[in-house]
Structure 1
């Protein structure tokens, strides 16, 4: 975690994100954010800070989403692609990333500062005993991406999303009602530290399994603390 910013009352994350971006040294970076932050002002702030953006596009930007979707519906076969596949534990998953120039879009999207590339990722998942799933996700970027770069950036972003899912499931982050003063920010830091410590402990248990073991066994608790502190010292 590089930084966090508490949202003020009568405000939301959309207004807080540009302020947080301005606090960070992101020059030369590719900034990935989920669909909520797919806003022209946020895109402009990222570019003005010397970075590039890769923003998920959903229905909160309806015209943009429709335009991107329409291009890939007709030109996916000619787009450069990157295919990745994973298999194990009765699960098969494949991801195909396609990239095209933003110049292929039908419409005026000049409000998106520096827009150069549009991306779609086709995600296929099959798990034994369940119906197969096929999902398309769409993105825009100010960087001239190739398919491999796009696939890598999206994969890394999903890894961060997965971490937040773990924080919610294992530490009830979204259910936390503490908000006075700096309480929410402090607890967020502590959850990240706790999760990193649990992950540093090498036992092949799930995060929940390690939490339960720590509650029942002080030796396991000491092992997690030692692993976490050693990891901090190395970094």
Structure 2
């Protein structure tokens, strides 16, 4: 739930403030890639006024991610509503999966300026495939930063072709 739905955002946020009873919780912990993050989901049945305005809604959720990223303190809280009827653990996994996808799209837009491209027809699919291949090649080559990887091979066709011919480490062990 983004801030552009101000009333709904305020209504959901108020349901998780103070000493209200939150019946459903789930947590998860992630260590790796420079992160040490604890994810906490708190969920409850959507109140009647939200279910009436947003037909089909069953749960409202607050998800907090807190810890460190690259040694720096990090905290983010997001609000959600959903029509899914499942366990809090499954809801938390769905939220984490969504953030993973959003992170991938953020890289594609900020580093490759994908949203600025105006390809049509088959060109859009071809360019998206080439961008995905480029990102995967940079990751396989060991670049933790897409920006530094792009800068390293941008004007070096030899390095780019060497990356394309390189076999992933997992295949070399066979």
Please, what TM-score do these two structures have when normalized by structure 1? 0.57
Q: Is the 8 A contact 1:99 1:146 kept in 2?
A: no
1:101 aligns with 2:83: no
CA pair 128-185 structure 1, distance change in 2 beyond 3 A? closer
Q: 2:104 aligns with which of 163, 166, 169?
A: 163
Distance in 2 between residues matched to 1:227 and 1:208, nearest whole Å: 20
1:1-235 correspondence runs (5 A): 57-74=1-18, 78-87=22-31, 91-102=35-46, 105=47, 107-127=49-69, 130=72, 132-174=73-115, 176=116, 178-179=117-118, 181-182=120-121, 187-199=127-139, 201=140, 203-206=141-144, 207-214=146-153, 215-216=155-156, 218=158, 220-226=159-165
Distance in 1 between residues matched to 2:134 and 2:33, nearest whole Å: 28
Distance in 2 between residues matched to 1:210 and 1:60, nearest whole Å: 35
User: Per the alignment, in what secondary structure is the counterpart of residue 179 of structure 1?
Assistant: coil
Q: Which runs of 5+ in 1 are unaligned?
A: 1-56, 229-235
CA pair 127-196 structure 1, distance change in 2 beyond 3 A? closer
Distance in 2 between residues matched to 1:212 and 1:128, nearest whole Å: 22
CA pair 106-66 structure 1, distance change in 2 beyond 3 A? farther
Runs of 4+ in 1 over 4 A off after TM superposition: 74-77, 88-91, 127-130, 180-186
Cα distance, 1:93 vs structure 2: 1.9
Q: Deviations over 1:8-64 (max 9, x none)?
A: xxxxxxxxxxxxxxxxxxxxxxxxxxxxxxxxxxxxxxxxxxxxxxxxx12222222
User: Per the alignment, in what secondary structure is the counterpart of residue 63 of structure 1?
Assistant: helix
CA pair 73-213 structure 1, distance change in 2 beyond 3 A? same
Q: Which runs of 5+ in 2 are unaligned?
A: 168-174
CA pair 89-197 structure 1, distance change in 2 beyond 3 A? closer
Task: Note the aligned Cα RMSD (angstroms).
Answer: 3.2
CA pair 79-135 structure 1, distance change in 2 beyond 3 A? farther
Please, what TM-score do these two structures have when normalized by structure 2? 0.73
